[in-house]
Amino acid sequence: MLEIQERFDTAGYEHIISAAGENNAHITEALDGGKAIGFIAYAYEAERTIVYDYDDGGDLMLCDGLVRSVMFKSVLKGIETMVFELPDEEKYANLRKLKFLAEGTNICENLDGFMNSCQSCGKNK
């Protein structure tokens, strides 16, 4: 069964944590049977959440779940902007396919509106 859970240590993610610099980076992992199959690394600031990296193992739906989990937590903190500062330009393609980002930008704004617009998605066939 797939679970998405925040880690409370950063063992194995030191290279990503160093990219965050002074920010208090967080790691959320996608687990299948207790084994990590993906992750997203991010930090909260007063007005924005910065995503430093993610790994979805090539699974577009896993990418969607990882990003939405961080979006949801950001909205709960009153944060409305998510900035992607990814080390690999190719990773932006999936974010654009999923409509998290518009072409030519690395910023997703109005997170609360984005999350609420999806409430009726299951009703749309």
Over the stretch 68-124, which tens digit does the pLDDT of each residue have? 999 999 999 999 999 999 999 999 999 999 999 999 999 999 898 777 765 545 544
- Tens digits of residue pLDDT in 6-60: 998 888 888 888 777 767 889 999 999 989 999 999 999 999 999 999 999 999 9
Chain centroid to CA 21: 18
Per-residue model confidence (pLDDT) at position 122: 52
Q: Helix, strand, or coil here: 91?
A: helix
How far apart, in Å, are the Cα atoms of 70 and each of 37, 123, 125?
Answer: 17, 24, 26
| Secondary structure letter of residue 60 according to DSSP | H
Look at domain 2-123 and name its CATH class: alpha beta
CB contact set of 56 (below 8 Å; sequence gap of 6+): 30, 38, 62, 63, 66, 94
Question: Which strand ranges, in their side-by-side order, compose the sheet holding 49-55?
Answer: 2-7, 25-32, 35-44, 49-55, 81-84, 107-109
Distance CA 48, CA 119 (A): 23
Q: Where are the domains of the chain?
A: 2-123
| Secondary structure letter of residue 23 according to DSSP | S
